[in-house]
Structure 1
Amino acid sequence: MSEITDYELFEVPPRWLFLRIETSDGLVGWGEPVVEGRARTVRTAVEELMDNYLLGEDPSRIEDHWQTMYRGGFYRGGPVLMSAIAGIDQALWDIKGKHFDAPVHELLGGKARDRIRVYQWIGGDRPSDVAEQAREQVEAGFTALKMNATEEIERVDDPATIQAAVDRLRQVREAVGDEVDIGVDFHGRVTKPMAKRLVEELAPYEPMFVEEPVLPEHNDALPEIAQHTTTPIATGERMFSRWDYKSLFENGTVDVIQPDLSHAGGITEVKKIAAMAEAYDVAMAPHCPLGPIALASCLQVDATAANAFIQEQSLDIHYNETSDVLDYLADPAVFDYDDGYVEIPDDPGLGVEIDEEYVREQAELDHDWHNPVWRHDDGSVAEW
């Protein structure tokens, strides 16, 4: 019987944490357990899980390991623990696929699609120059874009703020026409009274969806917000298990869920979340402003989930100032985008080969990413 013999963690730029798990028969699996800006915290959680539960164990018992990591410590859920579990889960699936010489999607039942559409970010944290960036990305072959709706916004803000957000979306729509989809991310920056106004004013320019119109702790406000628009509502990047999603499905307001394969328990859990969503006629667009291991994991689940319709990816995203997704791959061509789509990787495991030498070099660099702390004019903390 094979057993887990060793693991290593690598903090790498721009803001990622990679996990390498090795087995007694020489197989290596990679995962990406990270909370952006909390890499060191998640690193400690991974070490606790690996040392307490997984070293010396059979790597093939993924479901049992998942249940042990989730239930074994009494306290459960939340971004740190679920992200630690997610990265370990990804690495275990990578090992299992390599053991059977098959991509993970084959072990999950086989592909329901050959490729999936991707969207490209434009505009940055405080969105600007969006029309020109939109044109460039459409010329590069993307058929779907996403942008932040607004910068920091007051709890109750003025008409000019609303108009500025509307003007940005209008400019993008006029630049790219009606055959390109545009997701609009509220990023949890917007309170309920402003969200109601914004979704109504943005609707004439037909966003693909409005994302996280309020913070997940205010999901109970989504039915009221939904009454102000016919635009699909998306949320879920800060929700970490099927139990977090349960009430969301039951209230019937959300049209698109966005679980993150590096935050919501990994492949094992997001496959279950996707199945729950399908039963409620809810589409899935996994959140992934992260690295190549997270993206590869997303694509393996996308391949098998009938309700997956588009995939986020972070190539050239505004966070990736020092390193980018393709830099860590031995063969970057695995993520070639063609007509706005990416092929589902078919190589064993997660379907990507990590350039281990480059990972080790980058892990030696001094970097410590944290998101900015924004403040309103009165000095109070604003949502980023």
Structure 2
Amino acid sequence: MSKITAIRSIRIKERPNLIWVEVETEDGLKGLGESFRGAQAVEAVLHEQVAPWLLGRDARQIEAVSTHLMHPYVGFHSASAEVRAASAIDIALWDLAGKRQNLPVYMAMGGGVRDSIRAYNTCAGYAYNTGGVARRSTDGTEKPIGPYDDQVAFMRDAGELAQSLLDEGYTAMKIWPFDAYAASSGGHLITLPDLKRGLEPFRKIRAAVGDKIEVMCELHSLWTHNAAVRICQGLEEYGVFWAEDPINKMSDGQALADLRRQTRTPICGSETLAGTVPFRDLLAADALDIVMLDLAWCGGLTEGRKIAALAQAYSRPLAPHDCTGPVTLVAGLHLALHAPTAIFQEVVRATLSTWYRDLVTVLPEVRSGIVMAPQGPGLGTELHPQVAQREDAVVRVSR
């Protein structure tokens, strides 16, 4: 038996959406997990609900723990605080499983089908999802704060940005120029002038680099059906690889399937969904071309591998999401190496080159746009000890 003796959560005020979990066992091992959004709510679930049940249990019984923590009751039909807490615990238990076997997680899961995977760069900035994308210059426009402030770059000159990515070996990128136009109508309408403005970055990319780079369009679940149809039809001219989360209720298989019938732009979804059932329903409804999941939100690696099996059964490619934290990125990479139909691992070069490094000991190596397999046991990375010692750190332990 490998009895769980402690559950430790760490969050820092500088990154208020992120929370890390360390699960300790009686054999002296420690597993690392992570989740994102509502860190305080996740912390409460971890210590008030999860810890009283989990402490003293066998850390090797990952499936049993997942089944219990993902029980489909109130709060468990979306990526709720309960599911985000369960996801963090599950990732930590898989980290422990790999360490016990002295194997990387993807090998502990049964091995990989590849030893590297293609990356696409999400063109976010250094502070994306944490408040404040860039500084304002004197004329009111966004001012880049570093060479990888890619969210500013894709609105200023997406063609130049595409060339800079190609120069580093990236052959795929994701942008979201339509977001700014959703608020005026609540996402129910996009005018023709706004549509043309939103399409301009895609035109610039093709004019600058032709077909040398794949381009994904993120729509962030901001649109209702008719507006999403208009956007996706407009994207067809530019050979977009996918339109991601195009409608505001990504569990609506009927609406997505109807959208998919009206456009040649492939539909990708969804980082926002949790558990296997929504993915099963969307695939059965013929509503998705590409399956995307976020391991910090869907239930962790245990649910993630089941969703990957559904993607394989429906002959759909898989693309793990990360635009949140370094541990989720590493966990997603392990799944991408393990899952047969995985085609991409999302990365953000702005965060890889800066604050991700301040949080964990090892980050995935991206070599000419290819993400290499982690080498260490378990996830292959640890939270830097100094993170928990910061002045703005909030650390809570249940024993």
Q: With structure 2 as the length reference, what TM-score do the two structures score?
A: 0.84
| Partner secondary structure for residue 119 of structure 2 | strand
Report which stretch shifted further, 122-131 or 79-88.
122-131
Which residue does the alignment assign to 2:63?
63
Shift of 1:245: 1.2
Q: Does 1:254 align with 2:293?
A: no
2: CA distance between counterparts of 1:289 and 1:143?
A: 18
Which residue does the alignment assign to 2:131?
none
Which residue does the alignment assign to 1:315?
349
Which residue does the alignment assign to 1:281?
315
Which residue does the alignment assign to 1:301?
335
| Partner secondary structure for residue 128 of structure 1 | helix
Change (3 A) 1:359 1:119: farther
1: CA distance between counterparts of 2:339 and 2:220?
A: 25
Shift of 1:176: 2.6
Which of 9, 32, 35 in structure 2 is aligned with 1:33?
35
Which residue does the alignment assign to 2:367?
338
Shift of 1:107: 1.7
2: CA distance between counterparts of 1:102 and 1:362?
A: 35
Q: Does 1:229 align with 2:263?
A: yes
Which residue does the alignment assign to 1:238?
272
| Partner secondary structure for residue 310 of structure 2 | helix
Shift of 1:327: 2.0
CA-to-aligned-CA distance 1:196-221 (integer Å, 9 cap, x gap): 11111111110111101112144421
Change (3 A) 1:56 1:255: same
Shift of 1:47: 1.6
Which residue does the alignment assign to 2:160?
132
Is the contact between residue 328 and residue 359 of structure 1 (CA under 8 Å) also seen in structure 2? no
Is the contact between residue 241 and residue 266 of structure 2 (CA under 8 Å) also seen in structure 1? yes
One-letter code aligned to 1:59: A
One-letter code aligned to 2:24: E
Across the aligned residues of Structure 1 and Structure 2, the Cα RMSD in angstroms comes to: 2.2
Which of 390, 395, 398 in structure 2 is aligned with 1:361?
390
Which residue does the alignment assign to 1:381?
none
Shift of 1:126: 11
Is the contact between residue 53 and residue 68 of structure 1 (CA under 8 Å) also seen in structure 2? no
| Partner secondary structure for residue 335 of structure 2 | helix
1: CA distance between counterparts of 2:72 and 2:58?
A: 17
One-letter code aligned to 2:208: A
Is the contact between residue 53 and residue 69 of structure 1 (CA under 8 Å) also seen in structure 2? no
Shift of 1:300: 1.2
Is the contact between residue 104 and residue 380 of structure 2 (CA under 8 Å) also seen in structure 1? yes
1: CA distance between counterparts of 2:153 and 2:70?
A: 37
1: CA distance between counterparts of 2:152 and 2:346?
A: 16
Q: Unaligned regions of 5+ residues in structure 1, if any? A: 366-384
Which residue does the alignment assign to 1:210?
243
One-letter code aligned to 1:128: M
Q: Does 1:161 align with 2:194?
A: yes
Which of 342, 347, 351 in structure 1 is aligned with 2:380?
351
Shift of 1:293: 1.0
Q: Does 1:267 align with 2:296?
A: no
Report which stretch shifted further, 58-67 or 121-130.
121-130
| Partner secondary structure for residue 87 of structure 1 | helix
One-letter code aligned to 1:348: P
Give the fraction of aligned pairs with identical amino acids, expressed as a percent.
28
| Partner secondary structure for residue 276 of structure 1 | helix
Shift of 1:338: 0.9
| Partner secondary structure for residue 89 of structure 1 | helix
One-letter code aligned to 2:171: T
| Partner secondary structure for residue 360 of structure 1 | coil
Q: Does 1:112 align with 2:113?
A: yes
Shift of 1:336: 2.0
| Partner secondary structure for residue 227 of structure 2 | helix
| Partner secondary structure for residue 263 of structure 1 | coil
Is the contact between residue 143 and residue 181 of structure 1 (CA under 8 Å) also seen in structure 2? yes
Is the contact between residue 70 and residue 77 of structure 1 (CA under 8 Å) also seen in structure 2? no
Alignment of 1:132-151 (within 5 A): 132-150=160-178, 151=180
1: CA distance between counterparts of 2:358 and 2:181?
A: 32
Is the contact between residue 315 and residue 324 of structure 1 (CA under 8 Å) also seen in structure 2? no
1: CA distance between counterparts of 2:227 and 2:213?
A: 26
Change (3 A) 1:78 1:362: farther
Change (3 A) 1:6 1:72: farther
Moved over 6 A (4+): none
Q: Unaligned regions of 5+ residues in structure 2, if any? A: 124-149, 395-399
Q: With structure 1 as the length reference, what TM-score do the two structures score?
A: 0.88
